[in-house]
Each structure stands twice: as C-alpha cells, then as structure tokens.
Amino acid sequence: MVDRSYLPFSSARHYHDPKMQKWMGFFLSEHTTALLNDQNIIESPSNLTVSEKNQLISQLYSAQQLASFTILNERTIKVIIGTISVISQVEIVLKTKDHYERTAVADILDISEECQNSKSDD
C-alpha cells in the first residue's frame, strides 16, 4: 500500500489504484478476437494421404457414387453428402440434393461411401 498521507486532498489520500483494470482500455478488440480464435482451433488432421484422397475421388467420380465428405471449412467441420460432378487437381465440385458445393481437396478430412437405401426382397 502506498502512503499518501502527505497529500493535501482527501480524494488523493484515499485513492485506490485499480491496477490492471485501468490498462484494459488499451486491450484492443483485435487482441480479444485473436484470443478467442486461438481457443477455437480445431486440430483434426486428415487420416487420408494425398494419394488416397485422389484415388477415392477418382473412383467416386467415375462411378458417380454418393459419398459423405468431411470438410474443414473456416475452422469448422462440415459434412457434405453428394456426388462429385467436377474434378480438378486442387478442388472438386460436389452435387448435393439442393445445390453445388465447391471445396479444395486439401480441406477434405475424410471420405466415406454412403449406403444407398435399397429395398430387400423378403
């Protein structure tokens, strides 16, 4: 505690320093956003190699088979179910029920075949 008894004004003698609270005004909104983004980092690397991804994509494209794609999209994981309508070296275009979705091959975390509902004969 600081001795301020020598000061002439009562308010100065009884002043309580808020310490870090007074510096929070210098904490920019960019700092807050950066801290929040660091907390929301998703570390879910793909278990597929690049060659495995390319092979699966080629097979699904040639067969026009329905598949489920797990994609890392702007720090969130998204699952898209559809067929591959356009294929290139760096990206694919998926045709879903409602729309077309473009995604980079590097953003694909997992690919799995979708079981199509077929009626079994009893």
**Whole-angstrom Cα distance, residue 53 to residue 111?**
8
The mean per-residue pLDDT over the stretch 68-89 comes to: 88
> Domains of the chain (ranges plus CATH)?
50-113 (2.30.30.100)
Instruction: Note if the pTM is more than 0.85.
Output: no
DSSP letter for 53, please. Answer: H
Judge whether residue 89 has pLDDT over 90.
no
As a whole-number percent, the residues of the chain with pLDDT over 90 amount to: 32
The reported pLDDT for the residue numbered 20 is: 59
- Best CA proximity match to 94, nearest among 77, 76, 111: 111
Q: Strand 67-73 vs strand 76-87: parallel, antiparallel, or unpaired? A: antiparallel
